Amino acid sequence: MSTLVNITSKEQFSSLLTSSAIVVADFYADWCGPCKAIAPAYEQLARQLTRPNRITFTKINVDQQQDIAKAYGVTAMPTFIVFERGRPASTVRGADPRKLNEVVQKLASEAGKAESTGEGASGGSSVSGGIGWLGASVPKGYSDITDQVEPKGLELLNRDSAFAQPRTLFDTSKPSALSGGKAKEGSTAADWVESDTDEQLMLYVAFQSRLKIHSLHVTSLPPADGEEDERPMQPKTIHVYANRSQVLGFDEAEDIPPVQTVTINPEDWDKQTGTAKVELRFVKFQSVNSLVLFFADGDGNSEKLRVDRIRIMGEAGEKREMGKLEKIGDEVGE
């Protein structure tokens, strides 16, 4: 079975650049003789080095995907571009299998070292995805599309201002609670959010494109010490709303049926990463430009709720128009 991924759209390619740490792109044409000559060597390299969500080999027909070729300045075939964390790292022009092998092997070696000594070495099942830390594995057939969050379209109600800003929830860095550093609660170093007057939080998230959302990864790492009724809790019940133009008030949310309500049980939390996978009804989240997440309660008796990170899994679609974003005060991202 071939390990090569044939690119059929800009959206597919963008998604791969997000989900895979290294992407190798072979820009070719059916009429190109040198392209055909180097194809067997490229396929062999793909069989040897492909790693799920780490190293992905693709083929891009320049006649069918002219926009992609133009975006990366491809004017001659074959051209091989190696992307590292979504950005071009090396380019090989022409049918030079030795040079191509050298470039890809070097990056693969660096990726292997990072995997064995980096995030994964800090403990548990945490993994490093295409654009940063992940607390759980990416579901098969989907990608981490958290980078589609529009930072200026975030709003969090009942947030304790002594803790982090809402955008920290979607930060690509590993939570400090997993790195041995214990930021004092209420200090400027805190990289998580907590509720204020009670255990509820209301989060509004706008996106830069229309998404198909498969699941959410919610990370919550409350401290193990302290009185149980004073420690912040992990979320338990989350009401999910889609395509709202603005955040919902708490009273308002009680009168509006959510698209889905999910319950996170104690056994759902990964003991090493403090992350729970929240699977959504995929058919209900096929064309999503915003989400409202109503964290209704937590697992315990405290009046505080804590959330460290949220990752979004699914598929990214077409970019939203500027006008639509401007209605809610946002700007188009990258």
Tell me the catalytic residues: 32, 35
**Burial letters 119-129, b for 16+ CB under 10 A, else e:** beeeeeebbbb
Please choose, from the candidates 242, 260, 147, the residue with its C-alpha nearest in 3D space to the C-alpha of residue 204: 242
Name the helix (H) or strand (E) containing 313.
Answer: strand 309-319
CA-CA distance, 109 to 307, in Å (whole number)? 35
Structure tokens at 21: 């740490």
**CA–CA distances in Å: residue 121 to residues 110, 115, 124, 129, 221:** 15, 8, 8, 14, 19
SS3 of residue 254 by DSSP = helix
Cis peptide before 266 (omega within 30 of 0): no
SS3 of residue 195 by DSSP = strand
Residues in the chain, overall count: 334
Query: Counting beta carbons within 10 angstroms of the beta carbon of residue 177, is it exposed (0 to 12), middle (13 to 18) or buried (19 or more)?
Result: buried
Question: Strand 309-319 relative to strand 201-219: parallel, antiparallel, unpaired?
Answer: antiparallel
